[in-house]
Structure 1
Amino acid sequence: MTRTIQQLFDLEGRTALITGGSRGLGLQMAHALGEAGAKVMLSARKEGELEEAVAELQAANIDARWIAADCAKEADIHRLADETMARMGDIDILVNNAGATWGAPAEEHPVEAWDKVMNLNVRGYFLLAQHVARASMIPRKRGRIINISSIAGLGGNPPELRMVAYNTSKGAVVTFTQALACEWGRHGINVNAICPGFFPSKMTKGVLSEHGDEFASHAPLNRLGDDEDLKGLTLLFASDAGKHITGQWVAVDGGVSVITGG
């Protein structure tokens, strides 16, 4: 008998690990997974922000905990995965969301800043996915990995946004997602990517304070993203409702990425 739509989206009994989960898009996705029944482990670098985020989730009756870790450091990545499994059991859903950006003209972009962005946004995703897959997903022949890219990874930016390292890293995340999906499908692991557009956040505060109305006006939906707009797609990719979807990226951007010549 086929399952109902409610059963397909139900995450009861599953565990999700979300990096960069203490605020913004990461916390929004944590709410989505927790509201669907998953146990949630949040990770970020700052303990105070993690405590506040977990308190918010627990107030919504979500089983949530936290581990402070820096996903730019391989030892921290391994510790994060191992401690999550020790405390919460096997990891069913991994959301690679921790990220960094750096604004500078390409001709002046510091090499050390390039390395910092690529290390966290690409290498960190690979190392955590590899460790979680080896330890938890491949042995059980099941898993969901959601990589957070960006519409910045689909091409260039408006001239006022000079973030060549960020764009490059997010483009790499799209290709990484596709390659990993091809390799790990045989292990029952689905790998997909979300490409958000402009969402108000701590990272985008400066840019949006200056250009927010302009960016919203360029979107066919004439708005920026809000605190709900990633929840539906996150749940689709994480649940059995999306069990036949892998290697895909979806832009959540109000239609910005479909405009040509704009």
Structure 2
Amino acid sequence: MTGLFDLTGKTAVVTGASSGLGADAALAYAQSGADVALLARRVDKLNQVKEEIEKTGRRAVALACDVTEEGSVKGAVEEVLKEFGHIDILLNNAGVAVRGGVDSMSEEDWDRSFNTNVKGIFFMSKYIVPQMKERGYGKIVNIASVNAVIADKNDMFIRHSYNASKSAVLGLTKGMACSYARYGITVNAVGPALFETEMTAGTLFKSEQFLQGYSAMNPAGRPGKKGELNGTVLYLSSDASSYVQGQFIVVDGGGAIV
């Protein structure tokens, strides 16, 4: 059974790989046998992740890439193909969570959410899917959010552009899944709830009151821990999920069922 999750000989591309869930997933890919291309805007942070991956004996490359800029994405994908020759796995992890409701946020903040969370997936897929189709194989995992399907009245969690953009990720996932299944490409989405990352450490995790309220409402009684998203990501990135298509798996301790 362990062979189902073996990624030996595979190349994975991870966006938003400089920290948090992206960095964790990149290391998990390497530990499962894959070579990894690390993409983000902060190359200094990427190089730290690259060093950790190389300690596993796998190859890694760190590339500056802004997923909101088509030229930047195109250039990064070309570099990955030059380095590794092929791309088997794409983890669209880059994302932003902008606070605010529609009655208070700026157009700029609204656009920033959609440009990163949705257009970023579009650009990455645009330049990676063609070679997956040509090779007849590919695994695309889009990181959405539990907030694609639930919302929160707590002022700290009002993020309307985040709700809307992550819901759009689910629609895009379904459309791509239906279109590309015939080419041996699976496309699925993952919906994490609250995890402590660089993005949340300085905001949500600084409020003891919020954490107590969150934990009281969540069936698991706590936020997600480092590494707890990796199993789901590896499953959808491996041949263990060869007949899983267009699905959305929520990793939230049961919060969405309350």
Q: What TM-score results when the alignment is normalised by the length of structure 2?
A: 0.95
Give the whole-Å Cα distance in 2 for the aligned partners of 1:183 and 1:16: 21
SS of alignment partner, residue 189 of structure 2:
strand
Aligned letter for 1:207? L
Aligned pair partner of 1:85 in 81, 84, 102: 81
Counterpart residue number, 1:258: 257
Within a 5 Å distance, the mapping from 1:51-200 to structure 2 comes to 51-134=47-130, 136-160=131-155, 161-200=157-196
Partner of 1:208: 205
Contact 1:190–1:245 (8 Å) recurs in 2: yes
C-alpha contact 1:218 1:256 (8 A) present in aligned 2 = yes
Question: Secondary structure, in 3 states, of the residue corresponding to 1:144?
Answer: strand
Give unpaired runs (5+ residues) of structure 1.
none
Quote the residue 1:22 is aligned against.
Answer: 18
Moved over 6 A (4+): none
Q: TM-score, normalised by structure 1?
A: 0.94
Q: Which amino acid aligns with 2:91?
A: V
Deviation, structure 1 residue 178: 0.9
| Contact 1:150–1:194 (8 Å) recurs in 2 | yes
What's the CA shift for 1:245? 0.4
Identity within the alignment, %: 34
> 2:3: which partner in 1?
7
Secondary structure at the counterpart of residue 87 of structure 2: coil
Pairwise CA RMSD: 1.1
Q: CA deviation at 1:173?
A: 0.4
2:66 alignment partner, SS class:
coil
Structure 2 alignment gaps of length 5 or more: none
Q: SS where residue 194 of structure 1 aligns?
A: strand
- Cα distance in 1 between the residues matched to 2:159 and 2:168: 14
Letter in 1 for 2:144: S
CA deviations on 1:104-144 (whole Å, 9 max, x unpaired) are: 2320110111011101110110121121011x101011100
* 2:222 partner amino acid: R
